[in-house]
Amino acid sequence: MKGIREFRDEVWRHWRESGRHDLPWRKTKNPYRILVSEVMLQQTQVPRVIGKYKEFLKAFPTVQKLAAAKLPDVLKIWSGLGYNRRGKYLHDSAKIIVREYGGRIPKAAAALRSLPGIRDYTASAVRVFAFNEPDILIETNIRTAYIYQFFNVGSYDLPILDVDIHIVAAEAAEGSPPAGGPREWHWALMDYGAHLKRSGVRNNSRSAHYTKQSKFEGSLRQVRGEILRALARGEKHNDLRCRYGEKFELALVGLAHDGLIVKEKGKWRIA
């Protein structure tokens, strides 16, 4: 494909000169630590994750420690990252890993995908970054890089499918990874895409899979987080009910459905 070699060269050049080599989850090959980072990075920007990642691993340094922890303690550390169900999913996954896999993070894609909250991308990311297994990762920064290089044509009006990007990605990855393997190639791709975004490239809306994240302020996500923080501190949340009205009730229903809270003797508490 035209431009593949030039694309590879540019990605590697940027990686050598400006790659984010100091990200803490890039300094480990520990599968548990990689799993924690990948769950945290779902829908959350890197700067917000760095501090929480270190705090979480200090509290729960192994999958066994996480599995043995109580959910309120896990959510207390998770608070501030948003999407608290991810913290519960990670906690539930740790229990399964200890119970069914002897405390070892599984390498097989199907086994990873069977864990709570682990979908195709996260399963593939764990395989690539923890085990250096060959795979194709398509996330927002990588998508930006491929669209910019191979689909940046004014007449291309139809939405771009990830399956089309996958075809290009497979050819670009063919023979591309150096000694670092698929792990390093995907780090380089992510950093190149992030660089393009900082340079003003905004092309992800051309993807058929693009979804604009809803505003956080006043959202159901915000209410859910405030309820969990209030319960964790043992505070009354009637003021939240008055402030948010219907959203408060919807948030309670959602939190209960996700298994994050339970009602006991007429009062809500973290599960």
Cite the active site residues: 38
| Beta bridge pairs of residue 219 | none
The Cα–Cα gap between 262 and 72 comes to: 12
The Cα–Cα gap between 114 and 185 comes to: 26
Instruction: Tell me which H or E stretch contains 261.
Output: strand 261-264
Judge contact between 112 and 87, C-beta under 8 A. no
| Residue 180 DSSP class | T
Residue type, 101: Y
Judge contact between 138 and 166, C-beta under 8 A. yes
| Residue 83 DSSP class | -
